[in-house]
Structure 1
Amino acid sequence: MTSAQPPSTPKSIRPTISTPHRRTNSASHASPIDIKPKSPAARRMSMTSTSQSASLTPQTLAQRIVENEQLMLAGLVSSLMLCGILYSLIQSTSLDTSEIHHHTLPHRAEYFARKSNVFNVIFVKRAWGWTSILYLLHLFSSPTIPSQIHTGLGGRARRLGIWMLATIAWLVFTSWFFGAGLGDRIIALTGGNCAVQLPTGVDLKIARETFPSLFTAGEKSTTTNGRIYVPLPHQYCSGTPLTPSTFPQLFSLIPSHSDIHATSRHESLQALPRPRWHRGFDISGHAFLLTLSVMVLGRGLAGTWRSWSSTASGTKSRTVVKRDDGYLALIHRWSGIVATGLVGIWCWMILMTGIYFHNPPEKLSGLVLGLSTAYLINILIPPSTPSSLVNPTSPSSRPISGIGGIFDENAARRGGVIDDGVIYENPAESDSSDEAVDKGKDKTD
């Protein structure tokens, strides 16, 4: 039994299937020349998309560090502190400030080893005041940010929040809201004692009967030649005033104490010197505060530094804000210059702290605490600025991030970055680029 065979189609009437001609040298993707968008803006984007995508090559670790001001500043202050500690260990220049008698030692020969040096008296003792003044001046004199970019935590609100968080951290360390600051609490928890030097002329027999725990400190730790100290409750080293009404048993030992009026400007007329901590783990307040000041000021000045860098390298940045040459622009310019100089002073004093004051663990703890505080602020208010100006011709260019870290491709092709990383576009420049594209199209046609 045979199965039915389908009828065969004659070769003459079979349909012919033709294949369109393909270019052997054509690329696997459409070229901007083959596709000509109608809109000028679309043509501009089309002509730059291929070159922009090709320029986004992976960055090396060194490039990322150079383009991140916070990492660079953290590396700078850490290097200065480590170099200062190393020098102090080799040359034995550091003074152990946890010992109470270091306040009565004679002045050291090195100028920056004295607490009376001009940088310490004028700047470091009021470090957060100087930092706050210049930071806020630079902030509120900055150009107005467009409303569509100023939403959420962008612009001035974001930068003001950074300063507020840093101020809270400074207050927590120096004077806690519910008593002593964090530094004083750590000293007390690690075995430190609050004490005051007993003035001369006091009857030692009566003093020992009143305070059985008198102690001496210094090279000559004897009751005859050494200085005698009276231990006090911890609150007298944390802001509670020491007066005849708050601690009468001590003032009763001082002859004619009622005739001595304490004054903050004439320490020699005070009935008793200022109470101070003895022993315990004393975190370097200078290391903490100066590190935090450098990191906060550096973040506020990052846009200005990038603008200066682009100007020096010849890179053109675009601005949509018309900045007049009035007082506000002058204040903004000079506040950036002075604040940059202040960052240099803080860095120098970090080095001097590493060389001349505290023991190594206390200096390192202050450095780590300052860097950790800055890192926490960066987490709570993450930077919305890109690392650098976009240069489409550079092989290591990176995309520009918008508010919240979202990549804005259009702004990356047309915009520049100034101040707080805000992307601006110059309409005149966009129009001129449109005309250039149109002329090129006409010539091609």
Structure 2
Amino acid sequence: MSSPQPPSTPKSTRPTITTPHRRSNSASHASPIDIKPKSPAARRMSMTSTSQSASLTPQTFLERASENEQIVLAGIITSLMLCGILYSIVRSSSLDTSEIHHHFLPHRAAYFARKSNLLNVIFVKRAWGWTSLVYLIHLFTSTSSPSSINTGPGSRARRLGVWVLGTIAWLLFTRWFFGAGLGDRIIAVTGGNCAVPLPTGVNLKAARDIFPSLFTAGESSRTIAQNQAGKIYVPLPHQFCTGVPLNANTFPQLFSLIPSYADLKATSDHESLQALPRPRWHRGFDISGHAFLLTLSAMVLGRELAETWRSWVESSTKRRKLVKRDVGIVPIIHKWSGIAASGLVGIWCWMVLMTGIYFHNPPEKLSGLLLGLSTAYLINILIPPSSTPSPFNPIITPRLIFSRPSSGPGGIFDENAARRGGVVDDGVIYEDTLESSEEEEAKISGRRINGREKVA
């Protein structure tokens, strides 16, 4: 006897359960042709994603250095100074220029240890003049960016302000507006004395009667009683080391001891005669003026040449096709001023190394270096560097016009709407709210019209 069968359901009334078809590995095999931009926001998405993908390309060392030229240049100068100081300590090659007798020593064997070397005579002694010359030429021959104005980032007015602040810092250190420079004031405050060597042939007894505070300097110097006139120094008031000329009118007590000078007549033929060498500071804390000025000059030039260096790196890496500029005298001058300024930065860096090896004691060299870097840092704070995008920091489309797409019914994310007009950024899809709202309003109005037609 067979068991009863359950009643069968007609096929027409049987519920059908449909499972959504999912193609396996559809995401990995998606073709760019399958997704077609259908809105302006989607077209902007493709352009933005292209520029962002360029920024994800691994950068070379030159590219990273060109984006952080101030940090890299400060690191190079600091490394050169530290290497020079270490070498001077190991080889005992540096002279403590705070001691006055070191200024009157014969020429040393090493070429760059002599103050008469060509780089020192031609360039270093006029460091800020050379820096100002190439800086201003490079500045005023550069083409103005269409997107910048006189007060905008990277404009000529801002770059000119950098040079003005650097010039003020140089004047404050070398020649204060109300007297001596900052360096001379620090020497005087820390116990330094202004002095000049006693000329040869001066009656020592008469000199001792006028200047009872005569002193000697140097390890090999002898006492005054042994009449070593070349090692005997006359103390002077501080103003003679801060720019006041030393002559018979300003300090007659000393010139009255010089027989040859007393016989000279004040004629035009003898106006240029120098009876005495330049007065020098003795002891005190002598901040390295070369370290300060060379560091400041290199940092200021490095900031001005930032865009030029980036364009050179761009052309060498061939990441982008360079735009051919108009040929003329001004672009040629601008190009060669950039080359000359880059060579000048190289000279300043080399002389920083030579200063670290041959001149001043370590604390004075480090203080000059820190003062130069601090001044450059202060200038960057007062006038921030240009924010113009570099070839390796492309413009990123701003997100202000985009917002998170509205959720569908029940808080479900409307992926279809996002695909129609969205922008993908870090895995999150943003949609243009204006376009989305217009599309939604059109759909709603269309549904209302269709409903009215059906009712009618």
Fold shared per TM-score above 0.5: yes
Assess, with a 3 A threshold, how the Cα gap between structure 1 residues 233 and 49 changes in structure 2: closer, same or farther: same
TM-score, normalised to structure 2's length? 0.74
State how far apart, in whole Å, the 2-side matches of 1:228 and 1:261 are. 27
SS class of match (2:180): coil
Partner residue, 2:326: 324
Listed as ranges, the matches of 1:51-70 within 5 Å are 51-53=50-52, 67-70=67-70
- Cα distance, 1:83 vs. partner? 0.6
Q: Which one of 348, 358, 367 corresponds to residue 369 of structure 2?
A: 367
Match of 2:210 in 1: 210
Aligned-pair distance for 1:337? Answer: 0.9
What SS is found at the alignment partner of 2:194? Answer: strand
Query: 1:251 maps to what in 2?
Result: 255
| Counterpart position of 2:79 | 79
Report Cα offsets for 1:323-371 as digits up to 9, x if no partner.
3211101100111111111111111111111111111111111111111
* One-letter code aligned to 1:275: P
Q: Distance in 1 between matches of 2:335 and 2:136?
A: 13
Deviations along 1:235-288, one digit per CA (max 9) or x if unpaired, are 11000111212112222222252444899x999941222111000111111111
Is 2:245 the partner of 1:241? yes
- Distance in 2 of aligned mates of 1:128 and 1:373: 14
Q: Please name the residue that 1:353 is paired with.
A: 355
- Once the two structures are superposed, what CA deviation does each residue of 1:399-444 show, in whole Å capped at 9, x if it has no partner? 54xxxxxx6659xxxxxxxxxxxxxxxxxxxxxxxxxxxxxxxxxx
Q: Deviations over 1:105-158 (max 9, x none)?
A: 111111111000111000111111111111111111111322654443541111
SS in 2 for 1:115: coil
Identity of aligned residues (%): 68
Distance 2:34 2:168 in 1: 58
Cα pair 2:183 2:286 within 8 Å, conserved? yes
**Any idea what SS the aligned residue of 1:207 has?**
helix
* CA deviation after TM superposition for structure 1 residue 36, in Å: 3.1
Distance across 2 between alignment mates of 1:151 and 1:97: 45
Match of 1:232 in 2: 236
The change in CA–CA distance for 1:285 and 1:266 in structure 2 (over 3 A counts) is farther
Residues 326 and 56 (structure 1), Cα distance of their counterparts in 2 relative to 1, 3 Å cut: closer
Please list, as runs of the form range in 1=range in 2, the aligned pairs for 1:176-215 lying within 5 A after superposition: 176-215=176-215
Give, in angstroms, the shift of residue 35 of structure 1. 6.9
Alignment: residue pair count? 381
Report the counterpart of residue 273 of structure 1 in structure 2. 277
Shift of 1:50: 3.8
Give the gaps of 5 or more residues in structure 2.
Answer: 1-17, 400-456
Once residues 239 and 58 of structure 2 are traced to their aligned partners in structure 1, the CA distance between those partners, rounded to angstroms, is: 53
> Which stretches of structure 1, 4 residues or more, deviate above 4 A after TM superposition?
18-27, 31-35, 51-60, 62-66, 147-150, 258-263, 265-268, 407-410
CA contact (8 A) 2:193 2:235 kept: yes
**CA RMSD for the aligned pairs?**
3.5
Task: Indicate the residue corresponding to 2:289 in structure 1.
Answer: 285
The answer to whether the Cα contact below 8 Å between 2:213 and 2:235 also exists between their aligned partners in 1 is: yes
Structure 1 residue runs of 5 or longer lacking an equivalent are: 1-17, 391-397, 401-406, 411-445
Distance apart, 1:200 and its partner CA: 1.6
Describe the SS at the equivalent of 1:371: helix
The answer for the alignment partner of 2:93 in structure 1 is 93
Q: 1:341 to 1:382 in 2, by over 3 A?
A: same
Whether the aligned pair in 1 keeps the contact of 2:37 and 2:43 (CA below 8 Å) is no
Q: Is the 8 A contact 1:260 1:269 kept in 2?
A: no
Residues 16-51 of structure 1, C-alpha deviations (whole Å, 9 max, x = no match) = xx9999999888xxx997673555xx5542213345
Alignment partner of 1:49 is 2:48 = yes
Distance in 2 between residues matched to 1:369 and 1:132, nearest whole Å: 19
Tell me the residue number matched to 2:135: 135
Relative to the length of structure 1, the TM-score reads 0.76
In the aligned structure 2, how far is the partner of 1:399 from the partner of 1:35? 25
The whole-number CA distance in structure 1 between the counterparts of 2:81 and 2:271 is 33
Pairwise mapping of residues 162-177 of structure 1 onto structure 2 (< 5 A)? 162-177=162-177
Aligned AA for 1:239?
Answer: G
Per-residue CA deviations over 1:74-133 (Å, capped at 9, x if unaligned) read: 010011111111111111110111111112211111111100011100011111111111
